[in-house]
Structure 1
Amino acid sequence: MTSREDDALARAAVAALTGQLALAPKPGLPDPRDLDARSTRREHDSLRWSAKALAPGLAAMAAAARRAGEATPVLRAELGAIGRSTEHSVGLAGGGHKGALWALGFLVAAVALDPGAKAREIAVNTRKIAAFNDKGAPRRPSRGSSISVKYGAAGARGEARAGFPHVRRALDALATARKAGATETQARLDALLTVMSTLQDTELLHIAGPLGLRQVQAGARGVLEAGGTATEAGAGALAALDADLHARAWSPRGSAGLLAGALFLDSLPVNSPAGAA
């Protein structure tokens, strides 16, 4: 059974995911512009609907961590079982969000284990949970894990075991852009591009290979080096990158899931000015 605290964490995580979906223009990624095109409207509506299907599973992950009280192999196995069940539920609701589910699930569990921790501490604390192997995981490797092995990429598991370094970089980018006077949309886009600029995105590796991944990373760096999305030059570079990725059908989905994780941590009351006082 979940508590009000667990349900609140799940709602915050889903809100972060839907906030990521609402952000535009996201290079190569679904965003509200898809609602204006008949060919993509249904897909975007499906993503928004299926995001809500994550809530029960995320609340259950938080409850499992709260009951456990510490990171253990048993907790890791329970989180894995809940996650796979949630994947099935999300699939029935329209699919998508697999990477976001696991990122948000680990982060929600880490918050439940240490409710008073700050955002960066929470991200680092996921290492304690991810350090254990999921003994209930299917023996057949997933596409993401196969790509990770093939190209030596960290992948979702490596990101969690490292304490979500790209989530922490996104949090830093949010703070920097806001301090510089960027709008919230511009700050979030800069955070996304910061992740894209260095993440070894297994989805991109699968679609575009190592050369394609490096091209996307360079494009994201180009926007940031032009001053970020709050500048005219940066906005122009973003538009060019967006057009290129959509034309090639290259989608940096791993970066989108990690941005959702950063937005979730950023939204927690403990990270607000009042909570930090």
Structure 2
Amino acid sequence: MLKSAAIIQCFLAVLALQGSWAFSWRTPQNNTQSVCPLQDPPTQCGAFCFSILHPMQEELTSIEGKQNLVQTKLLAVQSRLEAERVSLTSKMDAQLVALQTEMKNQVQALQSDMDIKLDSILQTVQAKLDAQLSVLQESLKNIVTKADFEERVNKTEIDPHLPFEKIGNRYFYIEHDLERTWQSAASSCRRMGGYLATPRDEQELNDLLPHLAKSKNYWIGLNDIDQEDEFVSVASGKPAPFLNWDQFQPNNLRNNQDCVYMDYGRMIDSECSDVWPFICQLDNEV
């Protein structure tokens, strides 16, 4: 490319010289114009042009070399930047994969821990529910419904000994769960074919005690409703054949305690409107 430019420039110079076949210049000493007549313009002009253009050609060659060097350095920089970009991208991808894996592992560990805790809580709750259900089922076994009670009453019409059981020498029915006033308890015993019970003697009382709950009180058939301090049996209307009063009893508190209950064998007078379980006897001898 540089050679073509030089030839063109030389050609232009030859054309310019052919008009006068001379070359003129100014000398720096006298600032006068000198003229060099050309005897053989083609031969003399070629050598002259080459001597003039040779430094320019070398400068252009130098510039072209520098451009090539710059271009080479630029390509090297671009290659290095591309390599760094690829390396950085690879590192970022690897870090991203590692981060995703770590987050996944942490989520799985957290979920596993939550599952274990949830299972533990559910097992604890289930155990408590099972325990409460067991207690409730046991409680339901001891509950006497109206239908059960009526069934007991109806059975007594078929068998006079049911639901009475023989304790000692007589038949008794002990109601542990239903709580009634004294009058209601007496009516319940009558519907069953019996009466509120009155212990005949100490031996009979001792026979009854193993069948009674120590934590409960039970109505018996003794009362002094008609005459204060004259306790009679509601079954026979006769005076009580046996009394086993608790300490300071009877006290007729507030002058309104005419009915008797037993606290595990100890007799206590109380208001007839109080509610307690009760004991029935089948006969009316006592």
TM-score (normalised: structure 2):
0.19
Point out the structure with the larger helix share.
1
Q: Which has the higher contact order (CA 8 A, sep 6+)?
A: 1
Point out the structure with the larger strand share.
2
Over alpha carbons, which structure has the higher Rg?
A: 2
TM-score (normalised: structure 1):
0.19
